[in-house]
Structure 1
Amino acid sequence: MRLAALAASAVAAVAAAGPIPQLPPLGELLAPPPERLTVTVEHNGTSRVANGTYTLECEPVGGSHPEARRACARLDRFARAGKDPFAPVPPDEVCSGTYGGRAVARITGTWQGRRVEASFSRKNGCEISRWKELEPVLPSARS
């Protein structure tokens, strides 16, 4: 008797909860998140890419970035090489005092299934190299 009462109350609870929600197809659950980056550039000198904020989408290529196809190709080369183009300069790195201008950039979003939040400048030799390594995702900067 107790088992029958328990089963009846379980059925009543499910019925009161409403319909069972549908799960998305398995392919959608297993699909990697889209690669979508927001690139913000400030104080950039003369360049084909002006100051502003651009979106960059890869696979498929899209967004408002003026060199989206080349930028995605560059990111693909980093991925194939197993390199992180958004990693900061290590704190113990010895950098030259070369100043590359006031250009700064910030990149946020998703790349290779992980969250990206990176800042770039041209304040010393290490940062200049890091910036150049990521061109054309970042524009060629001139002071």
Structure 2
Amino acid sequence: MLRSLVLASVASAALASGPLPPLPLGLLQEPAPKPDQLTVTVSRTGNPRADGSYELTCKPVGGTHPEAKRACARLESFAAEDTDPFAPVSTRSLCTQQHGGPATARVTGTWRGKPVDAAFDQKNGCEISRWKDLEPVLPSVRS
């Protein structure tokens, strides 16, 4: 959008006052995309090694997440499908009334250039599926 505004302004000015000096190329380039950076905080999974807070960076892969490479690959598969894995369960969903345990997770940060602040739990069948679908970004939960 900034690029369009700059080009329109330059064109208008050129028509009004004659030739202008060239613009710096930096004004015409799109800003580099921010890397995917997420903080994953997990508790009460039944696995003390899985509970805690982890940093996950993708493009390039890094951070303290124990399965960063697999987690980034999983997020990339969501991107390829143009699916938002952090979207809440629809209020129109019919969910089985099963309880998957006390595990909770929160994911915050940036993914695909957009802010993320998503909560996860195991309170019903839809939430259990949503959690499992995001593994290994979220750890497996003991049943």
Q: Does 1:34 align with 2:35?
A: yes
| Number of residue equivalences | 119
In the other structure, the counterpart of 1:130 is: 130
In the other structure, the counterpart of 1:14 is: none
Task: Provide closer, same or farther for how the CA distance between residues 61 and 43 of structure 1 changes in structure 2, counting only shifts above 3 A.
Answer: same
Structure of higher CA gyration radius: 1
In the other structure, the counterpart of 2:44 is: 43
Encode CA deviations 1:12-57: one digit per residue, 9 max, x unaligned: xxxxxxxxxxx9x56986111121000000101137x521000000
Q: d(CA) in 1 for partners of 2:67 and 2:42?
A: 14
RMSD: 1.9
Q: d(CA) in 1 for partners of 2:44 and 2:28?
A: 43
In the other structure, the counterpart of 1:58 is: 58
Runs of 4+ aligned residues of structure 1 deviating over 6 Å after TM superposition are none
Name the TM-score, length of structure 1 as normaliser.
Answer: 0.78
Q: d(CA) in 1 for partners of 2:28 and 2:108?
A: 26
Gaps of 5+ in 2: 1-23
Q: d(CA) in 1 for partners of 2:78 and 2:29?
A: 26
SS in 2 for 1:53: strand
Percent identity of paired positions between Structure 1 and Structure 2: 59
Task: Provide closer, same or farther for how the CA distance between residues 28 and 141 of structure 1 changes in structure 2, counting only shifts above 3 A.
Answer: farther
Gaps of 5+ in 1: 1-22
Task: Provide closer, same or farther for how the CA distance between residues 115 and 28 of structure 1 changes in structure 2, counting only shifts above 3 A.
Answer: farther
